[in-house]
Chain A
């Protein structure tokens, strides 16, 4: 190998490496990232605990068995247990719910029970992205919290940081995974898999930057909350008709 050949080779390798790093796959051509600010609206009064969302999410996103990007919890509350409700979620509610929780039901005065679907809250000030040491998790300009699986070390900081328990470590890839708000769908003009499969419309994908989105009207007319507001995460999973005992 003479000097000229070596220099030519180095140049060619540098150009090739640029392409490796760029690795730009086909994107959605008509999607303008600055025009959207995604959120989700959940009407607790409409959730029937059928598990359709959990199954659809698992199929859409290839979620490993025993892990969940979305799941349903059943709450049981009575007057004596406002601060300690019974919460169960057998297999994430994937196959529905048995008549009673495995540990037995509450029986006190003013007993009530209901289902609460959960997913990543896509927080504006998300604790999970703040603790990532390598910039592998981030909030996109359209308000979705994502994980770069090529950069993730699997250090689990973000799993611990999430106040809502929405993250897990993929057992084979050893990277953090979570709800992407079906980013591959919403950028193509589709709704999320869970919203598509929800039979009662309990879940609605919402675009806060779209003035015509029905969420604006809904938020004016209903009492809407987020989970753990005291943590100031700027959560964007909005819950309508949420009971005060839900954590």
Chain B
């Protein structure tokens, strides 16, 4: 009946193993964030963190809520498809606090050329000029109104 005489060795090993596994599970529960594995092998909370970053461009719907008059002019002209912040730059701060944050009016002699300066790589349908010949350095809004740039009827 001395067959299980040395069973204490096994029990000790099992106990040590059990303690090890318990410690591992405890540490894992402690260190791995709750949301890790919710969607996959990553921290799902980081999605919410990235989604909560501040918006810098307000979006044209926000602009149009106040500047309906500009929208009317723009809708009738060639720049109907160009959003406000394409030219005026990011304006979320202005949209949040229109009283104290005033946008700087862009300089048309620089601004318009960004799109309308002639370049052979531009698509053929796009209206472009060599500004040096076309306006001799005059700001574009001397003749054109940027919100509806076509001169003359239509």
- A-contacting residues of B (Cβ < 8 Å)? 30, 33-36, 39-43, 45-57, 59-60, 79, 81-83, 85-87, 89-90, 114-115, 117, 119-123, 126, 128
B residues near A51, Cβ cutoff 8 Å: 114
Asked if A28 and B90 make an inter-chain contact with CB atoms under 8 angstroms apart, the answer reads: no
**Mind listing 19 A-B residue pairs with CB under 8 Å?**
A22-B34, A22-B35, A22-B45, A24-B45, A52-B86, A56-B85, A76-B121, A115-B122, A135-B43, A140-B47, A150-B49, A151-B43, A188-B55, A190-B59, A196-B57, A198-B86, A199-B81, A199-B86, A201-B81
Asked if A25 and B48 make an inter-chain contact with CB atoms under 8 angstroms apart, the answer reads: yes
Nearest chain-B residue to A140 (Cβ)?
B47
B residues near A47, Cβ cutoff 8 Å: 123
A residues near B45, Cβ cutoff 8 Å: 22-24
Nearest chain-A residue to B36 (Cβ)?
A135
Interface residues on A, range: 35 or more
Q: Residue A157 at the B interface, CB < 8 A? A: no
Which has the most chain B C-beta neighbours within 10 Å: A21, A31, A99? A21
In Å, the complex CA distance between A49 and B116 comes to 10
Nearest chain-B residue to A101 (Cβ)?
B121
Q: Which 5 A-B pairs have the closest CB atoms?
A: A148-B46, A138-B42, A184-B53, A25-B52, A113-B121
A residues near B90, Cβ cutoff 8 Å: 56, 59-60, 193
B150 to A: closest C-beta gap in Å: 16
Asked if B46 and A184 make an inter-chain contact with CB atoms under 8 angstroms apart, the answer reads: no
Asked if B81 and A27 make an inter-chain contact with CB atoms under 8 angstroms apart, the answer reads: no
